[in-house]
A and B are shown apart, each in its own frame.
Chain A
Amino acid sequence: MTFAERMLRIDRRIIFLLIGLCTLLPLLYPVGLAIKVSPEVRSVYDKIESLPAGSVFLLSMDFDPASKPELYPQAIALLHHAFRKNLRVIAMTLWLPGTGMAAEVISQVADGMGKVSGRDYVFLGWSPGGSSVVINMGQDLYKAFPSEYFRHEPTKDLAVLKGVRNLRDVSYVVSLAAGTTGIETWYVFGKDKYKFELGGGCTGVIAPGLYPLLRSGQINGLIGGLRGAAEYEVLTGLKGQALAGMDAQSATHFAIIVLVILCNTFFLFIQRSRKQADQR
């Protein structure tokens, strides 16, 4: 077996180690390179920025703990922005395993900014049904969620929901999704029927699949993965987890590029030596 062949068959644990180091070292020794904001992230920011104080902003955190590293910073940045703009925030989740995490993020950000549950924001929690929940909310928000999550107070009595009867009364909805049920559900069963503006945030791995929705105007903006979260943090001036993680992401991307170049070099080398052997 030639050197190139041996290199192409190296133990994958060596690659794992390399990726591990590329993630760990930049987190320990950050560089802090500048981040350029993409138009799709700016669209979400601009939309929230354009809303007058008191408008209703709905954030659906449709992800589970597995996607926390990417979507939690997005949720923090969006909530931070919405509270700073004094919007009335409705938070919820369509993913049962994400309920605790969603509750944690909203109460954490709200407490930090002096916002009060029931007056400035409400966390509705989770309700079974996925797309059915969106349809029910479009019909009657109070029937879909009769009580809020923290103190089980009837949603009908909450000051934050005054004048809000269903999804038609919501100015802007953002779904942070790790798959289905998520952005597409909110579009098909929500925006399509009840005519509100919809934005999205998602994990990096499903972001390319959502670009057609963006181009066709089905969603007005898209925050993709950790990079998207970092861009949003840049826009809001928040120094959060996403910005801290960008150096690690830079390093791992470069490691993968180097690995791909190496593998192709070895591959070409093997091809050439095979050709030469055939000619002989």
Chain B
Amino acid sequence: MNFLRRQLPLLITFAMGVVFACQYYVPHPVSELLLTTVTKWLQIIGGFALVLGITSLFHLHAGKIRRKEPGWGYSGVLYASMVGTILVGLGYSFSFQQWILGKETIDGVRTMFGWIYTFMMVPLQGTMFAILAFFIASAAYRSFRARSREAAVLLVAAVIVMLGRVPLGEYLVPISGDATQWIMNVLNASVRRAILIGISLGAIALSIKIIFGIERAYLGGGRE
């Protein structure tokens, strides 16, 4: 049992890690074929993993409904929406006399599934993203204070960029556009690059540890 839970996964990780690290340096079509094949495996595993996720989702919400937990009605809505969309998206349409199979339009005519996509999913997702603008304003008002000299510098930079990114700002303060370009291209890009260097080294170190089995916590449990 321990072999299946520990040694075998570590062995697979080591073998695949070394092979695919080397793959980067091998231009031969065989190496490309290997990569393509493994990416296909990943797609298949990803498909099965979704079943795992959906099972968890159903299980969790079924429990909530059964126990009549506070807000169990939302779980009911989730069930209804999910089952309804699956039926409409994959089921047989009598008006089109064919199976829908995820098509949003058939011969230019919108299906019921297409209707759900266009008139429910698009506006709902758009709304969620649009809330960001409101939250940015509220977060800026609540937290963007010149508590220190560094915070003051950030504040000034933010105001310049906000001015420089809109026509009204460029109209009122003509230099703000160029100043924004400079801040974004020079200060922002160089600082991000520095952060990226740190992140990349961290990622390489973590990858090395995982490939060589030094870091095992992701398998569940501590080191043995």
Contacts and interface: CB of A to CB of B under 8 A. Distances in A.
Chains A and B directly touch (beta carbon < 8 Å): yes
A260 B159 contact: yes
A264 B154 CA distance: 13
B121 A215 contact: no
Given A33-B171, A34-B171, A208-B184, A253 B129 contact: no
A47 interface: no
Nearest to A69: B126
Interface in B106-136: 114, 117-118, 121-123, 125-126, 128-130, 132-134, 136
Contacts of B39: 129, 131-132, 135-136
B126 A100 contact: no
Contacts of B142: 8, 12, 263
B140 A259 contact: yes
Given A211-B184, A227-B165, A36 B129 contact: no
Label chain B's interface by main secondary structure: helix
Contact of A250 (B145, B146, B168, B188): B168
Interface residues of A, number: 59
Interface string B178-219: 000100110011001100100000000000000000000000
Nearest to A213: B189
Given A97-B121, A260-B140, A128 B47 contact: yes
Nearest to A243: B167
A116 interface: no
A157 to B, nearest CB: 20
B121 A246 contact: no
A23 interface: yes
Contacts of A135: 32, 35-36, 39
Contacts of A136: 36, 39
A251 interface: yes
B138 interface: yes
A15 interface: yes
Interface string B11-55: 000000000000000000000110110011011001100000000
B81 to A, nearest CB: 15
Nearest to B123: A65
Contacts of A65: 121-123, 125-126
B122 A212 contact: no
A232 B177 CA distance: 16
B188 A211 contact: yes
Contact of B138 (A15, A34, A64): A15
B137 interface: yes
Q: Most B CB atoms within 10 A — which of A214, A260, A262?
A: A260
A67 B162 CA distance: 20
Q: Most B CB atoms within 10 A — which of A131, A204, A263?
A: A263
Nearest to A16: B134
Contacts of B133: 19, 23, 252
Given A65-B126, A204-B165, 9 more contacts: A65-B121, A66-B125, A66-B128, A99-B104, A100-B114, A128-B47, A135-B36, A139-B33, A263-B145
